[in-house]
Structure formats: structure tokens, C-alpha cells
Amino acid sequence: MADDSSPPSAPKDAPPPSSTAQDRLAQVTSHITPNTPKRRRRKAPSPSDLPADYSDILGQLATLRKIAATPDPSNRGYVRQKQAGKLWVRERVEQLLDAGSFQEVGSVSGTVTWRQTGPGREEPVEYVPSNNVQGFGRLRGRKIVFTADDFSIRAGHADGALMEKTIYMEKLAIALQLPIVKLVDGSSGGGSVTTIRSAGFSYIPPLPSFTQVIQQLNMGIPNLGAVLGPAIGLGAARVVACHFSVMAADIGSLFNAGPNVVKGATFEEGLSLTDLGGPAVHCTNGTIDNLAPDEAACFDQIRTVLSYLPDSGTQLPPTIECTDPPDRTCEALRSIIPRARNRTYNPRLIITTVVDVDSFFEIGPLWGTTAIVGLARLSGKPTGIVSLNCEQNAGALDAPGSQKITRMLKFLDIFNIPLLQFVDVPGYAIGTAAERSATMRHGVALAGAYYSTTIPVFSVVVRRVYGVAGGVMLDCRDPRMRVAWPSGEWGSLPLEGGIEVGHAFELKEIERKEGRERRDERYRELEEEYRRLMNPVRTANAFGVEEIVDPAVTRGVCCEWVERVYERVLPGRVVERGAGRLQPRFT
């Protein structure tokens, strides 16, 4: 049949043969040809795009730092600074620190006016830096932190995050156990009435940084301050609180409030800064330790004092190599004490002869002048020095002298520095002036310092040791470590006056019965007898003095003691400090 031989018809949905072949060919081609993505056209640059290397931010920082580091001769504060003969703050930093060691902290803190230059972009157009430069640096290789007031900006009053910066540096000194140097010129962030206006309200005065200051002082982290202009209010407090302070004679002054405020409160008119609180006031009353002729000399004194001190009380003081032989004999010392007991001698010459050559640095030479204190080295090792001064008040220890030694004892105790003292003390000062100035009150405070501190003490008795004052100085350690010179004399009271008291009845009776001439003759007999009995060798016979030495060998004896102290005693003391079992206090 015809129908049986015809081909079957295709389904309705089947694609035509040509279409199927094309699809198959496309599938094969896709497997053979790699899949290359289509290129996308880049967008045109947009003003809001920021540089990937943050050069815009770095540029802003560089601009601000350049402004801060460049003095503005048209600025009235800068002009005033120069007219007063003072260095600009960054000149001070440069002169103080070792070359190239300055690392600023808070380098762009301050008040900035910004101008928008485009979407997401701005630039500084006006900048008033913080009025205190702070950071890290080195003094003769020693790393320190420092703060330096900029009096040319608002006279150093609180501004530009100053308080926050200062507290941060105080905390850094504690955390890193680094000495801190404070160059004070102004109020160091103290208040101003204009602060009330800018804030819109008044405030109860805060003092947050002193928590850290007191902690530093008692940790033995060196605090060294210089008065390089008018130190006012908080600025004055900051520098006076330091372990050591120095004032520049040509520009320095210090006071609680300036002449204008004083005029309104006490009606004292016409006072200059120097009249109110210059060197003649505060370098002679103990408020400031030392006087220097100018700023450069202030910096040099700070470097010198730091060279004797450790970075903290948990370390030993730094030692240096010594070229001065420890066994050097000093024949001149044999005749330095006059045989005539009422004659004086130069006590500083004894000190400089015994210690390493050129190593004695005196602290507080203009106040408390009945006492001499300072720092020196024996065999290259830092040693504290205390001596009485027979050239002032015959060496009798008055109230300022007691205060001076008290402060020095605490200073040495906090820095683990042993004490060498040269003793020639006729007793505490006497008379109405002494009584009015509370000599005994300050004398007892001195006794408290001797007996509460724990630094090793070695004493050289060069002449007199009398009364409570002598006992305090020589009996404060057990066992006592001391030697005496052949010129030594001692007792409860000096013979001058002592014979009158001890033999008052006898002498009066002789005078009444036999006349004044016989009374004077008997006095001379008693004096001769007592002088013979007071031969220091007799005291040594009774072991009342441990050893009488030839003054010429004093240096060798002292050096041997100091070397032993540094070798055996001080390392254990440092361990005790680190463990918290020994906690001396400076304040």
C-alpha cells in the first residue's frame, strides 16, 4: 500500500535541522574557545577619590608641624619673649637635648581652623599650637621625657589640650620609669579668667596631674625642674615639687600670684617680678635649690644632677670609670683644722680633697648656709655629702640648716645613694633668734629623717660633736660606721659655758670668799683638767670612738666603704625596693 511506504512525519515542536546544527556547533565552540571577559570601561576620575597612600593626611600633619616649629616674628607673644631676653620654647628644647634626640608627643595638638577644599577634603588655614612642647629626648645619652612651657602663647595658661598632654607625660614617666625634666615659664597650664569666658562657666580648680607627680617623687623617678621665666601658680608648684630645681638669674622668678593680683590683695604696689619672687628671694629661702646665671647654665646643672641618679628607685645609681686613685693620700688635711679651737677653716676644701677630683656638685649653696650638702663620687660611685659649715654661725645647726639636711637625706634615700658626712657640730643654734625660728622643731624633724631613712651612712668626725645635734648625726645607724680625726672633741656641752654650768656653785663661792682673780684661776685649772681628759685618745681607749685615723688617708677609708656598699649592700636594697618591702618616701 502506498501509505505504508511513506516516511513518518516530524513532531510539531522539533526545531528545524539547520537550527539544531547551529546550537550543537555553538556548544562545541564554547568548550574549545577560552572564556575571555568583556572589558569594562573605567569611570572618569571623581573629585571625591582620596589618595591610597594617605598623602593628604600626611600633608596636613606636615603643614601643622611646620607652623608649630616656625617662630612668627609678628606674633606679640614671640616678640615679648625675645625682648625679655628669653629663648623661644623650641630653642630651649634644642639646647637642652642631645642633638637629634628630640621626639615630640602631641606635635599637632592645638586649635585649628579648617577650610573645605572639596568633597571629603580640607586644609588647615590657621593654627595656634598647644603652649607646651612635650616629648622624649636624651641628656648625655640618657633617655628622658620632658615638658617645656611656651610663654609666648597665652603666657602658658591652660590651652590646646595642655592638661591632657601634661598628665600623659607624667604617666609615661611612671610607666617607662624615665626621668622627667620640666622647663617652666608661665603657669604650666594653670587657670586664667578668660577660661571662664571661653567655657561659659566657672569651675572648681582641678589638680589631676599631682597624683602622678607625688607617685614619681616617691618611686625615685628623677624630677628635675628649671625656672626660665615667671613661674606662676601651678607652674610654680610643678617646679618646686621637683627633686631638684634651678632658676635662671637673668630671667627667673616665682610666685603664687603676680604683682597685679598682689596689689589688689595686700596693697603692695610697684612690685617687679624680681622684687616679688626673684632669685634673691627664692634661692635664699630653699624654695628653689640652685641659682644659675642663664638658661644654658640651668640646662648644664640639670644634666649634671641627672648623671648621679638612677632612672628609678628600683635601680642602682650610675657609676663611671674613675681615674683618681682611691688610695690617694691628702697630706694637706693633717693641718686643715686649726689647733686654736675658735678659728674656722674651709669645710668645702675637705670635701673636694676627699672625693673624686671635680666631682662635687653642691645643692642649695645660698640657703641653710650652716649646712653644706651635695653630690659627689668616690671611686666613680655617686655619694651624698653632708657637712656642717663652721664659717656660718660657728657651725651651730639652725632651722634652715636642719631643713636642708632633712631634704637631702630623703633625696638620697629615694635614689639609693649612700651618705658620707663630715661632722663638726657644736650643737643646735641657741639664742632668741634660734628660738623664734623653731630651731628645735626643725631639729627634731631632722632627727626623724636620720632615723627613718635607711641609706648607709659613713661619718668622719673632723672636730666637734656636741649635744642632741651631734648625737642625731652620729648615732642614727647600728652598727655605727665612723672614724674620727685627731682634732676631734666631743661631749654633752662645749667647755665654753659647760664649766660655768657644771661648777657654778663652786666658782661663785670662790669669787665670794677669795675674789674674782682666784675664781678665774680656778676656772683655768678646771679647763686644763677637762682639756686633758678630753684627749680623743682617751675616748678611743674606752672604745667610745671606733677608730682615730690620719686625716691624710681619709679618702682611702671612704672609698673602701663606698665600694663595699655598692658591691654588697645596695643590690639587696634595690631588690627590696622592687619587691615593695622597702618604700622610702620623698614627700
Residues 479 and 407 grouped into a single domain: yes
Q: Predicted confidence band at 50 (pLDDT cuts at 50, 70, 90)?
A: confident
Residues 301 and 339 grouped into a single domain: no
DSSP 320: -
Residues 135 and 216 grouped into a single domain: yes
Classify residue 140: in a domain, yes or no: yes
Question: What is the per-residue burial (b if ≥16 Cβ within 10 Å, else e) of 257-277?
Answer: bbbeebeeeeeeeebebeebb
Measured CA to CA in angstroms, residue 168 lies from 95, 177, 209 at distances of: 24, 14, 9
pLDDT of 216 above 50: yes
Q: How many independent structural domains does the chain possess?
A: 2
Classify residue 95: in a domain, yes or no: yes
CATH number for the domain harbouring residue 338: 3.90.226.10
H/E stretch holding 174: helix 162-176
Q: Shortest CA distance to 273 belongs to which of 295, 298, 248, 290?
A: 248
In this predicted model, which residue has the larger pLDDT, 21 or 101? 101
Residues 262 and 387 grouped into a single domain: no
Classify residue 529: in a domain, yes or no: no
Which range of residues forms the domain containing residue 373? Answer: 331-485+549-579
Output the DSSP codes for 527-573: HHHHHHHT-HHHHHHTTSSS-B--GGGHHHHHHHHHHHIIIIIHHHH
The pLDDT of 540-555, averaged and rounded, is 96
Residues 269 and 347 grouped into a single domain: no
The pLDDT of 472-496, averaged and rounded, is 92
Residues 302 and 337 grouped into a single domain: no
Residues 97 and 230 grouped into a single domain: yes
pLDDT of 201 above 60: yes
Q: Give the tens place of pLDDT for each residue, 137-186.
A: 999 999 999 999 999 886 555 555 678 889 999 999 999 999 999 999 98
In this predicted model, which residue has the larger pLDDT, 169 or 40? 169
The pLDDT of 511-533, averaged and rounded, is 91
Q: Give the separation between CA 127 and CA 360, rounded to whole angstroms.
A: 47
- CA torsion, ordered 167, 170, 174, 175, to nearest 10 deg: 60
Residues 279 and 405 grouped into a single domain: no
Q: Shortest CA distance to 341 belongs to which of 459, 466, 440, 435?
A: 466
Residues 448 and 568 grouped into a single domain: yes
In this predicted model, which residue has the larger pLDDT, 423 or 46? 423
Q: Average model confidence (pLDDT) for the chain? A: 90
Classify residue 116: in a domain, yes or no: yes
The predicted pLDDT at position 162 comes to 73
Q: Predicted confidence band at 2 (pLDDT cuts at 50, 70, 90)?
A: very low
DSSP 393: G
How many C-beta atoms lie closer than 10 Å to residue 462's C-beta? Answer: 24
The predicted pLDDT at position 120 comes to 75
- How far from chain centre, in Å, is Cα 343? 38
Q: Last residue of a domain, which of 308, 339, 359?
A: 308
The predicted pLDDT at position 176 comes to 97
pLDDT of 481 above 80: yes
Q: Shortest CA distance to 110 belongs to which of 127, 90, 134?
A: 127
Q: Give the tens place of pLDDT for each residue, 358-407.
A: 999 999 999 999 999 999 999 999 999 999 999 999 999 999 999 999 99
Q: Give the tens place of pLDDT for each residue, 229-260.
A: 999 988 999 999 999 999 999 999 999 988 99
Q: Give the separation between CA 106 and CA 138, rounded to whole angstroms.
A: 18
Mapping DSSP to helix (H, G, I), strand (E, B) and coil, where does residue 228 land?
Answer: strand
The pLDDT of 94-122, averaged and rounded, is 92
Is residue 360 within 8 Å of residue 374, measured between CB atoms? yes
Q: Predicted confidence band at 28 (pLDDT cuts at 50, 70, 90)?
A: low
Classify residue 26: in a domain, yes or no: no
Classify residue 15: in a domain, yes or no: no
Classify residue 293: in a domain, yes or no: yes
Q: Give the tens place of pLDDT for each residue, 271-291.
A: 999 999 999 999 999 999 999
Classify residue 20: in a domain, yes or no: no
Residues 287 and 345 grouped into a single domain: no
Residues 296 and 411 grouped into a single domain: no
Is residue 106 within 8 Å of residue 165, measured between CB atoms? yes
Q: Give the tens place of pLDDT for each residue, 72-103.
A: 898 899 999 999 999 999 999 999 999 999 99
The predicted pLDDT at position 119 comes to 79
Residues 294 and 366 grouped into a single domain: no
